Structure 1
């Protein structure tokens, strides 16, 4: 149960009139709610503001010039205007600003009144010690037309400054839902009072409103959070509809800072027994959100009042989630959603009365049931708990001696070392089958693990020798003096002195030494020097430096080849995190980060062919599952492209030229392009990749992955590892050793629908260190011409390069 997510569930009534007293809160908690919402102001205050507006309009209608009538001023709050006051329980309440204001109104009077009301509510909530405030999002008209969004966002920005300890959640529909305005309409809304002369829209704006897009709600959010500079105290309260939008939009919202998932009564279906349930897509989306690093709270909205308030002595059954199978059974395709009030009036009351008697909070009971029946976490999710979206600087194993705990994390991988053992075993079998000569006098194959760490690959090499029956002469080379001690102990206690342990930087090692002091060669060179982008921990430089010990005729390098891959992503949470580091670290955006990417959205996707029809028997079997895992849902395939490749061993001529350049001789040319002699320039790389982005979004940076061929010889095919999401399932499912790498953009680039993204990426070197440079450009086709929309700064990690 420790791995299961905890659901924090609140109750919201849009027409809540009674103050939320300590008694009301206690009653809600007795029913197993965790929190309640409370309005900040009362209907008395609402009436006062409407009277002000009415008086203003009456004066205008009486013929007084508008320029002579001052804008109405809302007087300060009185005790009759608000149910709130500072208390010990205030932290368990979510305050809700008035839904009847319109901060985005084109009418300056309505906008002014709305802003006055909003500012007074925010200031008073902050004074009372409220921690979280739900703010009604802009109207659907504002969302669709885009008009008024900047002034709405500016009001939110001011509110964040006004309440420095307040967290604001903007309540938004998941998609541009036409029913949004109807479901949230309040009697006495200020919006409809806007004067006709301010409501005139251009033909182009009208066309935009007539072409609703599922992304319009996200568009509005993007404007708001961009103007508010990705404030960590600003998040989304997302209202879930009955029918979820496309998976691509669900992924987009999962990448945003979700603080609340709002479940209106209208989003529930009824099963055959009349109990409220959620559709399978809604269940799966909730399960997916609950796997985020910071899971959102759930808010049940307008699903009925808190039971027992009128009878304080009554015993309220706790909604513990222990429902019968029939009560929790999913609604079939023919079942209707929760009935409207009119439909409910026409239905027999008996069933409803019986249901309420049995369970006064059926919606909450169902949510608790979902909590107890969440799909189990995958191996990667369990391993990565706490690491999700946590930015780490890449390791520098050449300059830093790693701690034992760092090695231990790598060694927990259930796949990586198994695959390495397969590769070594296959290489040994092929060596024997092909009757190759070995580098040892005894005929044993000489196997050296370079960068041996705590020795897991040495253990695997010995095991591969045992299972294949091919004798090996084992060497372990490690420069870390602390790990060297442990390797010697392993050799005594575990390896039965079968290994020769050498303390040396692999590049300085002269090779296996004999009793006569001469140095021999290595037949199979095994290393695990790969980083998140394959080459970012200087595997190419290290393996170049040790290649002189490799058998020049038959020598094998494991790995033999690796490729770096990248794709543009939306990662607003990571961008916000790096923004907050900027004051103390001006280079924060010029550093690639190792990070377990989780709350991100892939911007470039491939069109996936329709799935073949299912076997009816399998389909019915699937439909009987009460819960679906988030991974079961159909995800668009990400377009992740190769940047460059390294292979080992290198051709002798390339290494010879490198040695010629080292030292600056005339035969070595005129020096390196970025400084130094240029001896390492054969390991510099450049790539330009192009990505198509079908849906609009914001590019915050690039996700980087790698693939590697450990061994490619023989009849058994290639042994490969991959962190690339497109190929990992097939090549090395459940591998956990490497997190992806993230190359951030200082200024995010907005991409319209159908934009192209071109990424220029460099791997640079000056003989002392290696660094990356990256540049992102966005293009769109207009009138048959390709137009550049934007270009990022040239980012460079030179100041934080990996030292050789």
Structure 2
């Protein structure tokens, strides 16, 4: 992919709405149209109005008065029941434009109240509103989050109410309104009619004590409780309100990993620059840009701006749109190709006459215009973002390269990598250079270095080997070994049309190949053995087993293996979206889904074990970096540890012992631990690693990566890496491999300042290879290490990689 390709890459479109916190007028078709004429994609509306609010307060007042006048105990009085909605209680109806509204449940309810009467009334209000919204055809519903001042009991009570509400609105997408941190929460109770104000004192004393000291992760912890009780319901997500000052990067990244579908930007979050314009801080810009790169980016809601401007100004009323974009809106839109997304509803509603209807040049929507400016000036997509469009957080089963013959399109995806094959060519060239410089004897007899590309696929490494020979001036004799009969046809065609018959193409499993055929009927050796058998976790596609099986053809004195070694790495991560997808599969299609290591381009995740960077993105912002100069990757460095290592070629004594065990001879021992003869047990591995957890979180599984040394010689090492800590340094923009994800059947809650201990095994029974993993949580209290929880022992044996 060259630079011209990247210029045509469509950038994310911002879908922006207007949210009036205290509506001044009823929502109508005209008001919706006016919002679109101003450039908004959507507006918000409450389900019920002040008339309904007054009825509920009157009912509560009557109930309290009855309690005061009665000599009976309170539990002898029936709880107050709210009658069905009346036409005067709501301005909504099942109109054609209802889908263009984001509706809000009443903010004055308190589902988490310790007062049973207030909680009961709040649940009734919510259920009435949800039922009516669903009847009207509403798609997007926002519910105020739990009152954090009521403590954990209040959050649990709130979560149960939300689970109950989800069952009554089967098609509604429910968004829980949460503050980004706990500094400004739903406890503000600015409305004098807030039901929380009427909670009886005898019920409040206990909840206040239970609430404890506020912490930055308190709001996220409440959300985690709600979604856990609701079993990660895919209709439940977050409406996140950004504060004027963003919290720490760790908390920002935590919210980034969560299903945020609405991002509320209050007017108080804007600053005023030297020209008097409303702008967002660079930290806010960075956070918005990062959120908009998600596979499902959130909608943006501007709140606290008051009513839509010009509602009562006849000069601001615009004629019915004809579907053409105004020049202003066209300038705001991102460049589009024929395959780009359709215009937003607001863009489609713009008219060429718009600017003529205004009486002056003042911008009636400066905050909206600023967000459109940010839309036009987003940082360019990285190579990985351009290549991975559509693959982010998409689950893929690991390949079975030995038992299955890959399709051409699979090979083609690998071959698009701009880094991998250039690095391989460099490694081969350095190996040839060192071979000549050290005056090693070749296996050809005529001075040519014998190079075998095993598992050559469609032949990209064969081409690179020939290129390396040409660039170094060192002659080679190249063999291409491939078991796939379909790829074999293409290799022969390449040999005639592209390689001028310089290559010997052999169709066989590399483990069965006896080596280069010699004139006397015997078989020779190979000087450089080149392979690209690595998987997302290095060894998960049986590279060790394949290279062991073909090592007998390698020059025993000076033979070079490319790659020379590789290591597997992992770290605990939070990835609610991926876990939710696996959970859905386990319920509907595959009960073993949690025992499969999935290949997935991890995007919406949070690293649970991190360490500070010497210069993070936050410090870059403070030092004046422009938004389009920022790295939109996770700003904290994860703690990624090494599980195990494989090196090639193996010492001959290891292969000799393996050969003795194969067949079950007495001298070979008593058989394998997990079945078979144990001939492959030299390729088993295990590890037990501990990761520090700085902030509380939930572990959904392990993110797995690899590093490999292709060749290490006199000119240094040629290395590849998918490890997020070292990839930038070793092989930036490499796209051939996505990470691997080892899921947990039950998400594990991790307290702050705790430890995660991961035990992992690579197992084999001579017929297949599989992984087993176990995660434990510990905390040190008064010098004692206490186990907090233990996961199931997961095993991928049922879906292991066949040998």
Normalising by the smaller structure, the TM-score range is: over 0.9
Q: In structure 2, what is the Cα distance between the partners aligned to 1:750 and 1:767?
A: 37
Does the Cα contact within 8 Å between 1:321 and 1:366 map onto a contact in 2? Answer: no
Determine if the alignment matches structure 1 residue 532 to structure 2 residue 536.
yes
- 2:35 match: secondary structure: helix
Q: CA deviation digits over 1:495-547, x for unaligned, max 9?
A: 01110000010000010112332210000000000000000000000000000
Q: Is the aligned partner of 1:388 residue 2:392?
A: yes
Query: In structure 2, the residue corresponding to 1:712 is in which secondary structure?
Result: strand
Aligned-pair CA distance for 1:609: 4.6
**CA shift digits 1:320-350 (9 cap, x unpaired):** 3969xxxxxxxxxxxxxxxxxxxxxxxxxxx
Q: Give the match for residue 704 of structure 1.
A: 704
Contact 1:319–1:361 (CA<8 Å) still a contact in 2? no
Q: Is the CA contact (8 Å cut-off) linking 1:697 and 1:751 kept in structure 2?
A: yes
1:628 Cα offset (Å): 4.4
**Corresponding residue for residue 508 of structure 1:** 512
- Structure-2 change in CA distance of 1:67 and 1:140 (3 Å): closer
Superposition pairs for residues 659-678 of structure 1, below 5 Å? 659-678=659-678
Deviation readout 1:448-482 (Å, 9 max, x if unpaired): 00000000000000000001111100000000111
Partner SS for 2:631: helix
Q: CA deviation at 1:160?
A: 1.0
Aligned residues: 762
Rounded Cα–Cα distance in structure 2 between residues aligned with 1:591 and 1:611: 35
1:43 aligns with 2:66: no
Aligned partner of 2:458 in structure 1 is: 454
> For residue 637 of structure 1, what is the aligned residue in structure 2?
637
> Could you tell me which residue of structure 2 aligns to residue 277 of structure 1?
279
**Mean Cα deviation higher: 99-108 or 300-309:** 300-309
Partner of 1:13: 20
- TM-score normalised by the chain length of structure 1: 0.92
Corresponding residue for 2:363? Answer: 359
TM-score by length of 2: 0.92
How much is the aligned-residue C-alpha RMSD, in angstroms? 2.0
Contact residue 287 and residue 629 of structure 1 kept, 8 A: no
1:112 alignment partner, one of 120, 124, 142: 120
- State whether residues 315 and 359 of structure 2, in contact with CA within 8 Å, keep that contact through their aligned partners in structure 1: no
CA contact (8 A) 2:148 2:155 kept: no
- Asked whether the equivalents of residues 608 and 695 of structure 2 are also in contact (C-alpha less than 8 Å), the reply is yes
Q: Does 1:550 align with 2:554?
A: yes
Shift of 1:205: 2.5
- List 4+ stretches of structure 1 deviating above 3 A: 178-182, 311-323, 354-357, 607-614
User: 1:428-462 CA distances to partner (integer Å, 9 max, x unpaired)?
Assistant: 00000000000002110000000000000000000
Counterpart CA distance in 1 for 2:479 and 2:134 is: 66
Compared CA separation, residues 570 and 30, structure 1 to 2 (3 A): same
CA distance in 1, matches of 2:50, 2:86: 13
Tell me how far 1:667 sits from its aligned partner. Answer: 0.6
What CA distance in whole angstroms lies between the structure 2 residues aligned with 1:2 and 1:431?
44
Consecutive unaligned residues in structure 2, runs of 5 or more: 1-7, 319-325, 333-357
Residue 578 (structure 1) aligns with: 582
**Contact 2:678–2:765 (CA under 8 A) maintained in structure 1:** yes
Q: 1:356–1:307: structure 2 CA closer, same or farther, 3 Å change rule?
A: farther
Cα distance, 1:192 vs structure 2: 1.2
Alignment of 1:478-497 (within 5 A): 478-497=482-501
* Secondary structure at the counterpart of residue 701 of structure 1: strand
| TM alignment of 1:272-351, pairs within 5 A | 272-312=274-314, 314=316, 320=329
> What is the distance in 1 between the residues matched to 2:629 and 2:768?
45
Aligned mates of 1:458, 1:93 — CA distance in 2: 58
- C-alpha change, 1:619 and 1:670, in structure 2 (3 Å) is closer
Q: CA deviation at 1:307?
A: 2.5
Aligned to 2:522: 518
For residues 537-586 of structure 1, what are the alpha-carbon distances to aligned partners after superposition, in whole Å with 9 as ceiling and x for unaligned?
00000000000100001100000000000100011111110111012110
Please list every run of 5 or more consecutive structure 1 residues that lacks an aligned counterpart in the other structure: 324-353
3-state DSSP of counterpart to 1:146: helix
2:101 to 93, 100, 125: 93
- Select between 600-609 and 704-713 the one with higher mean Cα deviation: 600-609
Cα distance 1:73–1:632, how it changes in 2: closer, same or farther (>3 A)?
A: closer
TM-superposition CA deviations, 1:360-394 (whole Å, max 9, x none) = 11111111111111111000110011000001000
Partner Cα distance (2:398, 2:586) in 1: 18
TM-fit CA distance, 1:606: 1.9
Counterpart Cα distance in 2 of 1:675 and 1:694: 42
Please state whether the residue corresponding to 1:623 is helix, strand or coil. coil
- Tell me the distance in 2 between the aligned counterparts of 1:514 and 1:586: 53
Whether the 8 Å contact between 1:9 and 1:298 is mirrored in structure 2 is yes
